Amino acid sequence: MKKYYDDRHQLNMEISDTKDGFMCIKLHQPTGIEEISVTEAMGKEIIEINRNEYNDNHRETRRHVSLETYDPYGALVKDNDDLFQKAVNKEETNQLYNALQKLKPTQQKLIIEKFWDEMKQIDIAKDEGVSKMAITKRFQTIYRCLKKNLQN
């Protein structure tokens, strides 16, 4: 007795060996089991069709190629993404982060207030009790330090 299973059609089939020139086929379908008798030639043809269909399905699944691409950091990349530019941006972001880490805590605080909290320099000056020009000079110092740190 040979058993066949087709994932696509949820079909189970059992084909018995030849007896008196006939084969018995049991079809296990979702609606129930159906049993039919066919000639040996027809049974062999059914077996051959099953084998060919299995091979075709198997061959077809091997042809599928995933179009998904992952960048070096493990993030899924969209089709229209420029991988080189993403890598450059990531590297620049890492360099900027490292340069920011080398600043003094007071300088880091000013950067956070201006760029993350989106405070204006005049508001920062009022909070610190200094003139706007003093904050401007502090930012000039910070920018020089960042430039120096980014060049190293």
Q: What percent of the chain has pLDDT over 70?
A: 75
Please name which of 24, 56, 55, 40 lies closest in space to residue 13, comparing C-alpha atoms: 24
Residue 71 DSSP one-character state: -
Residues 12-18 have a mean pLDDT of 69
Residue 41's pLDDT band (cuts 50, 70, 90)? confident
Which comes out higher in pLDDT, residue 12 or 91? Answer: 91
Distance CA 138, CA 107 (A): 8
Structure tokens at 138: 């502090």
The string of DSSP codes covering 20-32 is TTEEEEEEEETTE
Are the C-beta atoms of 146 and 103 separated by less than 8 Å? yes
Q: Taking each helix axis from N to C terminus, what angle separates 83-101 and 132-151, rounded to the nearest 10 degrees? A: 120
pLDDT, residue 56, reads 80
Structure tokens at 141: 């110092």
Q: List the end-to-end C-alpha distance of the chain, in Å, as a whole number.
A: 76
Distance CA 38, CA 16 (A): 11
Residues 41-69 have a mean pLDDT of 73
Residue type for position 74? G
Q: What is the pLDDT of residues 133-144, one digit of tens each?
A: 999 999 999 999
Q: What is the pLDDT of residues 92-134, one digit of tens each?
A: 888 989 999 999 999 999 999 999 999 999 999 999 999 999 9
pLDDT, residue 118, reads 92
Annotated domain spans of the chain = 2-63, 102-151
Which comes out higher in pLDDT, residue 132 or 44? Answer: 132
pLDDT, residue 9, reads 47
